[in-house]
Every structure is written in C-alpha cells, then in structure tokens.
C-alpha cells in the first residue's frame, strides 16, 4: 500500500489546545519531508471524507465504511503516491477540486454541471434507486404501493422535503431540485441523513430523500425503523453508479488512469464486490450481483488499460526511478 496519513478532525483534539498548536500538528502530520517531496512532484493525493454512513462512518477516531474499504483497494495498488485522508464537508470537497487541488473524491455520481471540472474513473459504486423516507404515522395517501411522483409532491406547498447538500440522486430528480421552492430545504454539513431523520421524527419535514441502504443503516443506529418507512419515486430511475473523481487537468487524468487500473484488479479479485454488497439487504443481493456485473464489471472490462504512451511525468514508471 502507498504511504498513508490520516489528518484527524479538530473535534478529536483536547479543547484546551490553542489553535496554533492544532495547526502546527496538522502541518507536521500532513507535511513530512517525503510527503513534501511527493507534493512537489504531484504524487500526493488528498482523499476527503464526511459522515455518510454506511459509506463513510466517522463515529470512531478513524473513519470506516464501504468507501474507506474501496479507497484501501486503490491505495494498495497505487504505492508510489502518498495518500492523505482529511475530513471535509461535501461542499468544501467540490470547492477544492474546482480549484484544481490534489483532491480526489469518492463515490460521486455524474452530473453535467460537474463534468466541466471533474475527471471520472470507471464506475465502482452501485446503489439501488433513491427513495423518499416518510413517517409511518401519517401521509397514508402515499402508501398505496405505487411509485410516487416527486414532482407532484414538490408542487404541494404544505409538504416539506429535505435533501443533502452537494448530493446527486438521479438525472430527473436533480433537474426537479434545481428550482428553489419554499417547501424544499437543503441540509448542510456533515451528518445530513441523521439530521434529516431527526427532522422527520420531530415533524419539521414530511420527506427526506436518500439512498435506501443509507436510510436502513442510519435509522437502525437511531432506533427509528419502527417510526419511518420508504416510498418509491417515479423519477428515481434504476440502479445508480458512482465514481472516483479528480480535477480535470493533467494531474487528475494521470491519477484516474491509475485508479482505473486498481479497480480492474479489485473487480477481478472479487474484493470490490465483497466490500460493496455487505450493507445490501439479503433479499436484494441476487439482483445486486446481477446489476454489479452489468454496471460495474462490464464497463471496466470494455475499457482495456491505456498504454504507457498516454502517461505523463507524474505517473510514468521511468519518471519514478529518477
């Protein structure tokens, strides 16, 4: 595995520490001499994370979850880079990539507005269609077993819906969410699913948009499964894929080539499937395996590795021998 650092979030430091000491410690952790050399040569990658269970679980000192496992599969197959994990909000993650910093993001869905500044890997994340989470105690008109029109719900001024900042759900849903509405709120910062579930339980909103496996995991942790349930949305589409994404420049394209190579190895060994299916309910795993083969394995196999002729000084093996 390549060199790896974890920059701990400030909340893990004693409250009595001065800010200057925290900054000094972060500098020492994030900028050792070898790390500074790697940064100068373009061989340092920052991997931001935020609370998004079960993908990023941040309740312990070190993050865990499905995305962390996927990152580890990449790290061990890109040994000539230094990998630094750092906690940041979703909005901050996108801002840093827009500024062409050495940041690579994990699990993003493709969105037209992002393709101007992001270079995407082959798909690696597979999730069932997004759902709406509602209270079991009311909104009986939504429980007929049919798919619900999100567009119609958004046109009901007395029906309040919440989404997570910086999240993409599906092309049709994303288009609906572009128009500001008084009954549509955006939950900012980390722990947005937890905040959304808390708002539902308190009666502050009527629906939370999220992924079904995210809801099941977090609602289980919050003992809320007996109070809440999910409804299917007409605009949700089918299974959705996510990608690693780096800046749209020469450095980002080099790193994405290496990520794609690492993904091929992880797919071939079965490690990526094992990490991905762990949080999928048992009754859905047969369909998940089928979709994984169609939407994750096939695209990777259809794009053979690029020759070294397309590599730049950042990742060409001969350049690393100097």
Domain edge (last residue) among 236, 264, 295? 236
Residue segments in the chain with a per-residue pLDDT below the cut of 50: 10-11, 13, 15-31, 33, 307-322
Kindly report the average pLDDT of the chain as a whole number.
Answer: 83
What is the predicted pLDDT for the residue at 309?
Answer: 40
Give the pTM.
0.72
Same domain, 167 and 183: yes
Ramachandran assignment for 203, one of left (phi > 0), alpha (psi -120 to 50 degrees), beta (any other): left
How many CB atoms are located within 10 Å of the residue 94 CB?
22
Q: Do strands 4-7 and 82-87 pair parallel, antiparallel, or not at all (unpaired)?
A: parallel
pLDDT tens-digit profile of 251-300?
999 999 999 999 999 999 999 999 999 888 787 889 999 999 999 999 88
Same domain, 259 and 311: yes
**Rounded to 5 degrees, what are φ and ψ at 54?**
-90, 15
CA 221, 224, 228, 231: dihedral to nearest 10 degrees?
Answer: 0
Domain count along the chain:
2
Cβ contact 35:224 at 8 Å: no
Domain that holds residue 72: 4-127+240-320
Q: What is the CATH number of the domain that holds 213?
A: 3.40.190.10
Same domain, 122 and 249: yes
Same domain, 12 and 88: yes
Q: Do strands 184-187 and 44-49 pair parallel, antiparallel, or not at all (unpaired)?
A: unpaired
CA distance 246 to 102: 8
Residue 48: strand pairing partners: 86
Cβ contact 126:295 at 8 Å: yes
Query: How much of the chain, in percent, has pLDDT values that exceed 70?
Result: 80
Same domain, 110 and 71: yes
């Amino acid at each position: 595995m390549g060199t790896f650092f974890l920059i701990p979030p400030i909340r893990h430091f004693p409250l009595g520490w001065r800010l200057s000491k925290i900054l000094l410690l972060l500098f020492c952790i994030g900028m050792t001499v070898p790390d500074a050399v790697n940064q100068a040569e373009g061989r340092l990658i920052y991997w931001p994370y935020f609370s998004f269970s079960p993908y990023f679980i941040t309740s312990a000192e070190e993050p865990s979850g499905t995305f962390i496992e996927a990152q580890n599969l990449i790290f061990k197959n890109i040994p000539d880079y230094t990998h630094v994990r750092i906690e940041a909000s979703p909005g901050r993650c996108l801002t840093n990539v827009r500024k062409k910093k050495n940041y690579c993001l994990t699990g993003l869905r493709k969105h037209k507005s992002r393709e101007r500044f992001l270079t995407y890997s082959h798909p690696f994340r597979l999730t069932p269609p997004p759902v709406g989470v509602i209270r079991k105690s009311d909104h009986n008109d939504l429980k007929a077993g049919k798919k619900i029109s999100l567009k119609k719900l958004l046109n009901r001024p007395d029906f309040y819906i919440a989404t997570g900042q910086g999240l993409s759900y599906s092309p049709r849903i994303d288009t609906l969410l572009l128009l500001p509405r008084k009954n549509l709120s955006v939950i900012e910062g980390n722990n947005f699913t937890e905040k959304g579930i808390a708002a539902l339980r308190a009666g502050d909103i009527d629906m939370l948009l999220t992924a079904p496996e995210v809801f099941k995991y977090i609602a289980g942790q919050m003992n809320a499964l007996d109070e809440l349930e999910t409804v299917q949305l007409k605009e949700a589409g089918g299974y959705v894929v996510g990608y690693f994404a780096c800046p749209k420049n020469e450095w980002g394209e080099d790193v994405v080539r290496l990520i794609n190579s690492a993904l091929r190895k992880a797919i071939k060994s079965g490690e990526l499937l094992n990490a991905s299916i762990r949080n999928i309910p048992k009754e859905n795993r047969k369909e998940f395996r089928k979709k994984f083969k169609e939407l994750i394995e096939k695209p990777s196999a259809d794009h053979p590795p690029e020759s070294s002729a397309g590599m730049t000084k950042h990742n060409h093996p001969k350049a690393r021998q100097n």
